[in-house]
Amino acid sequence: MLSIQKQILEKLGICSDLSLLRVVLDGIPPRRDSKLLIKDLKVDEVPLRIYQPKQPPTGKRRGILYFHGGAGTFGSITFERICRYIAKKCSSVVVSVGYRLSPEHPYPGQYFDCLNATLYFMRNLEEYHVDPALIIISGDSCGANFATVICQILLNKRDLPKVRAQVLLYPGLQGLDFHLPSYQQNASVPLLFRKLVIYFCFRYLNKEPSVLEDVLQNCHVPESMKRKYKKWISADIIPDKFKIRGYVPQKSTSYKPEVHEAVKELLAITFSPLLAEDSIICQLPESYIVTCEFDVLRDDGLLYKKRLEDNGVQVTWYHSESGFHGILAFFGYGIFSFSSGKKIMDSTVNYINSL
């Protein structure tokens, strides 16, 4: 019934599925917070919302950049409750980045928006009383993907302060293998179904979903690429305890060059930072990674954790045994919140405060 109503609204030109989703997921604005100074500004047309504790600092504060999730096509700086919580509990300056959304602003523009916001903040730390040795780059879902890529890009910016840590909350980090155990086990688990991942990827990249089923079967990946990256992206690397719940190894599928050509962006380092070379990974900052058991993207986080550790990067890992993808979208909504989400946030705050 909802699908029929949506189609009627689209035909009338009232809204599309994407605009409806954006309205719903922007949530209810919270009340004013007497403990925070909140300022909105724009940097190169990108909206930023900056949260600062009102209480005068005893010294310089941490500076935390936050990139919201939403598959690059929805979400905004109204992701308030997470940012407010971190700013208050960590006595930190939090910069929420409202990168412009696809398809109106085509991929990979979101990365440039996040990078420009990051450069602005890092070049104006004095204005916000931020310690240049305590810059943290963070995000959830695709926002964690952006955070990962920005940390990799910043390795070449020798004139800027080094990032202290990256905080990645249930990140999506690769478009090479959609048959990892977590994709199979959680294919029909809300909020992010397996097919929905591919659908959102297509919307984000502004592609027609005509080859969606082929991509689900990994037909977009050349055999040479499968062999090259098997050492980093493979079910064989996932610990056995994560394969107990309904995992069946995938049968070999045939490569289809036309499918690869249609969605080759999925395999670019920008979209799939898990494919970055060891020479990049070994230089990355200390990392905090959250994974959720009931999340198709769980194994992306597990694989990145292993890659970082194999390259000598310190990783703090929090796994939510009952968590699901997008659980933090409900954080701060009272009876609609989940205790697992609160535990994720408290673990994240404890980590940030330990730096």
Catalytic center residues: 141, 295, 325
CA–CA separation, 216 and 174 (whole Å) = 13
Biggest CA pair distance of the chain: 62
| Cβ burial 232-264 (10 Å sphere, 16+ → b, else e) | bbebebbeeebbeeebeeeeeeebbeebbebbe
State the distance between the two ends of the chain, measured CA to CA, in whole angstroms: 50
What three-state secondary structure class fits 104?
Answer: coil
Nearest alpha carbon to residue 46 among 97, 86, 105, 93: 97
- List Cβ neighbours of 82 (8 Å cut-off, separation of 6 or more): 66, 140, 328, 331, 332, 345
Spacing of C-alpha 83 from chain mean position: 15
Residue that is written with structure tokens 């194999």 in the block? 310
Nearest alpha carbon to residue 295 among 184, 217, 212: 184
